[in-house]
């Protein structure tokens, strides 16, 4: 009787996993499924494209071996004390979060992860599906701008401890046209030329031309320098 029940549970779990694989087979977002023992049971095509591992390389392996996720402060998130698994066992909601992993090629990759828990017949059995997409550009921009903001936190201070004169503190941004000032705001927020073009309803080429004019007028060489100036004068 016990053997029959175990076989039924295994068949049901296999059926559920197959159904989930079918559901997530054509999604644009990556999907990683793990069971209650942290073992990978689902890995879709988008996950392969984003992370670089084929399904055959990760199926049946501990999730922490493949992801080894960390947060912005560098603390490891994956392991035996995995908080999403703990929440799922307690039947508590699993919060979405950002994690940093490394691709198969070793490249850092920031992901935004949403999680759903799919229960099985037995209360102790479930499949937890992490649905994720690449947010590397956004996160790296936020981290960079945070560092710039920290460096420029002492507005008006000189490195020798003196103060800038009113003339020295005057914003150089007045040389920019209103459109160029708009573009600079978007640059400071981490938008790409394509993103700026979409926001302002202009062509990508025009957005790039505005960026070049901003750099020339402000005597700058890179967009990072433009970001620093924007934060220096609170133009964001």
Q: Supply the pLDDT for residue 150.
A: 64
Q: Supply the pLDDT for residue 206.
A: 94
pTM: 0.59
In the three-class reduction of DSSP (H, G, I as helix; E, B as strand; rest coil), residue 42 is classed as strand
Pick the CATH number of 139-155+168-232 from 3.40.640.10, 3.90.420.10, 3.40.50.2000, 3.40.50.2300: 3.40.50.2300
Rounded CA separation 14/16 (Å): 5
> What number does CATH give the domain 2-134?
3.30.450.20
Per-residue pLDDT tens for 27-67? 889 999 998 888 999 999 999 999 999 999 999 999 989 98
Quick count: other Cβ atoms within 10 Å of Cβ 189? 17
> Could you tell me if 119 and 14 are in contact, meaning their C-beta atoms sit under 8 angstroms apart?
no
Specify which residues 70 forms β-bridges with: 76, 100
Domain ranges, ordered by start, for the chain: 2-134, 139-155+168-232
Q: By C-alpha distance, which of 233, 217, 190 is closest to 209?
A: 217
Residue 35, φ and ψ in degrees, nearest 5:
-90, -175
Residue whose structure tokens are 């790039």:
208
Q: Which residues of the chain have pLDDT under 50?
A: 1-12, 15, 154-169
């Amino acid at each position: 009787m016990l053997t029959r029940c175990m076989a039924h549970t295994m068949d049901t779990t296999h059926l559920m996993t197959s159904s989930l694989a079918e559901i997530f087979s054509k999604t644009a977002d990556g999907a990683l499924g793990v069971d209650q023992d942290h073992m990978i049971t689902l890995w879709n095509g988008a996950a392969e494209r984003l992370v670089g591992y084929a399904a055959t390389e990760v199926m049946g392996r501990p999730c922490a071996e493949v992801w080894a996720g960390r947060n912005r402060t560098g603390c490891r998130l994956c392991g035996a004390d995995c908080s999403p698994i703990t929440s799922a066992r307690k039947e508590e909601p699993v919060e979405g979060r950002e994690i940093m992993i490394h691709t198969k090629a070793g490249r850092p990759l920031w992901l935004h992860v949403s999680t759903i828990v799919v229960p099985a017949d037995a209360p102790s059995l479930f499949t937890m599906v992490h649905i994720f997409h690449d947010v590397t550009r956004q996160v790296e921009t936020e981290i960079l701008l945070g560092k710039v903001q920290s460096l420029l936190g002492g507005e008006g201070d000189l490195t020798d401890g003196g103060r800038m004169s009113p003339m020295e503190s005057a914003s150089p941004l007045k040389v920019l046209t209103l459109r160029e000032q708009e573009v600079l705001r978007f640059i400071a927020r981490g938008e790409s030329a394509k993103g700026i073009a979409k926001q302002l309803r202009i062509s990508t080429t025009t957005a790039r031309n505005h960026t070049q004019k901003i750099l020339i007028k402000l005597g700058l060489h890179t967009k990072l320098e433009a970001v620093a100036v924007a934060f220096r004068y609170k133009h964001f």
